Amino acid sequence: MSSPGPRAGGPTRRSFTPAQKLAHLAAYGAAIKQNDGGAYLRREGLYSSQITEWRKLRDAGVLAGKKPGEKIGRLTPEQVEIARLRRQLDLTEQRLVTTGVALEIMFKNARALGKSFEELAGRNTAHEAVMTTYGELISRGIPTRRAADLAGVPRATATRKPRIPVAGPRRVPANRIDGVQRLEVLDTVNSESFVNLPPIQIYAQLLDAGTYMCSISTMYRVLNENKQVKERRRLARHPARAIPELIATGPGQVLSWDITKLAGPIKGKYFDAYVMIDIYSRYIVGAHVHASESAVLAVEMMKEIFGIHGVPQVVHADRGTSMTSKTVAALLSDLEVTKSHSRPRVSNDNPFSESWFKSLKFSPEFPERFGSLTDARAFMADFVDGYNHTHRHSGIGLNTPADVHYGLAEAKAVERTATLDAARARFPERFSTNHAPKILTIPDTAWINKPAEKPAAIEQTKVAA
């Protein structure tokens, strides 16, 4: 559902000052030397593309001397060339250091390994010598893959650590009250004086009377153990709303659409992105960006989409003003398209559109602000094109939405099966089954609020099996 703009005091996107960027670059460089670069990125919630961009800025000298919040402009050609030369110099120095360290360690440990073979000829001794060499290479900053090659040991063997099982019963807290005390608590809270009061009121009144039995949390735990925690207040109940249950068995049947805000060049300025998605193929059939939200603009988008992809059976949306407008309703009625809406205040009744908006705004390429409406439209066009034709979607068998939408996924499945069969014949020990992984299977149906299977139907299925 669209709104005039994000509310004041709401969540903000994470940003980095020049000092923080330099600190992350330094820490990432140290982590790389310990072969821990990937773990550092995940630990700090960063992408490698951010590190690459920050390196360019650092090497060009534009991060040094910047104050917090100060803007960083576009690099000049001279700064780009300086950054390239600095990167080349760093790589050369790193290779020289790696080569020198490797030669020194390999020379010393090769003699020790030969002596072990001559004197003891023991396999364990030889393995220990090789692992010692590997350990020294790692401690000197050599990457694990390179160190394993130099030491002559498989990388998986070198990095494997023995798992130490931790077993035993869970420790009973020292401050846990015993069974007799728990019965006393239960009798007290259920007594005539306290039966209508919540634990927090009972706790306070007992304290005022000079009695301490247990904490408020313990009272709730004792009540919960005896299944005596239930809402008793006279709360108003909202009337039941019909749950939208939609199913698509192929492309072009059910389309979902929504509008999201894109931050403009200045605070308080936003652009509106209208996006419509096919819930079966996950294909973005239309994405328009405008300076404002309007039912008329939504109708124009729908007419364009229906003219290209055909008229669907159902169009689903939330309850935004444009979605529930008479203009949109009249168009869908004229085309005999079933109109479906989410329940009030239920955000997950439009899951496909909401999920796609998250993929859009959480991508590392998504900017904090768009300089103009033209920039926003260009970015959206590029992102949609990449999503439709390049992104392998886990919900449709790791196929691209375009392959599923236009019926090309079956041919891709045959090619993938042939590749897996060849790999299974070459490495049979790596496979425990003869069928393709479930993640490569395209679901037969796509649901919005799939109804729960009734117990009778489940029992009938078991009997049939």
Residues 337 and 360 in one domain: yes
One domain for residues 279 and 330: yes
Domain extent at residue 361 = 244-465
Q: Are residues 414 and 275 in the same domain?
A: yes
* pLDDT given for residue 154 in this prediction: 84
Any domain includes 427: yes
Tens of pLDDT along 212-229? 999 999 999 999 999 999
Write out pLDDT tens, residues 407-460: 999 999 999 999 999 999 999 998 888 888 999 999 999 999 888 876 555 444
Both 93 and 71 in a single domain?
no
Number of domains in the chain: 4
Query: Phi, psi at residue 385, to the nearest 5°?
Result: -65, -45
- Do 316 and 392 lie in a common domain? yes
Q: Is residue 81 part of a domain?
A: no
CA distance 378 to 464: 55
Q: Are 219 and 185 in contact (CB under 8 A)?
A: yes
* Average pLDDT, rounded, for the chain: 84
DSSP-assigned beta bridge partners for residue 446: 248
Tens of pLDDT, residues 250-304: 999 999 999 999 999 999 999 999 999 999 999 999 999 999 999 999 999 999 9
What global pTM score does this model have?
0.53
Contacts 24+ apart (CB under 8 A), 268-274: 268/5, 270/5, 271/370, 271/373, 271/376, 272/2, 273/376, 273/380, 274/298, 274/301
* CA dist., res. 299 & res. 337, Å (int): 13
Other Cβ atoms less than 10 A from the Cβ of 221: the count is 18
**Residue-level pLDDT at 12:** 66
Return the bridge partners of 405, or none: none
The Cα-based distances of 46 to 38, 53, 196, 275, 379 in angstroms read: 10, 12, 53, 28, 21
Q: Give the pLDDT confidence of 18-62 residue by residue, as tens digits.
A: 888 889 999 998 998 888 888 898 888 888 888 988 888 887 777
- Does residue 83 sit within a domain? no
What pLDDT does 118 receive? 42
For residues 114 and 108, what is the distance between their CA atoms, to the nearest angstrom? Answer: 10
pLDDT of res. 74: 58
The model's pLDDT over 60-108, given as tens digits with 9 standing for 90+, comes to: 777 765 555 455 555 567 766 776 777 777 777 777 676 666 666 555 5
For the segment 340-363, the average pLDDT, to the nearest whole number, is: 90
> What's the average model confidence in pLDDT over 318-338?
94
Domain annotation covers residue 167 = no
Assign 465 a pLDDT band (cuts: 50, 70, 90): very low
